[in-house]
Amino acid sequence: MTERQRTLTPPVHLTDPYGGGLDATPAADCDVCTALVKQRDDARGRQDYAGAAIASTEIARHPHKQRGRTT
């Protein structure tokens, strides 16, 4: 085995690395999304962009069940 040269990965830009969008649109009637939006805003407020991205990803992936409708 030859020693493999390690290369630096290119700089990561804050453009949608999660596929769901960092500005995912929450469903208006979704309590979970409402809470996640607050989390995202709080995270951004403390410059916790990773936390904001996670919250946004959860919004993007959320199935948005309607309030008051349970299966």
CA quadruple 28, 34, 40, 45: dihedral, nearest 10: 110
Amino acid found at 22: L
Residue 43 binds to Zn ion (criterion: CB under 5 A) = no
User: Which of 27/54 has CB closer to Zn ion?
Assistant: 27
Nearest to 22 by CA among 37, 35, 8: 37
| Binding span for Zn ion by CB under 5 A among 7-15, 16-24, 32-40, 46-54 | 32-40
Residue 35 binds to Zn ion (criterion: CB under 5 A) = no
User: Which of 33/52 has CB closer to Zn ion?
Assistant: 33
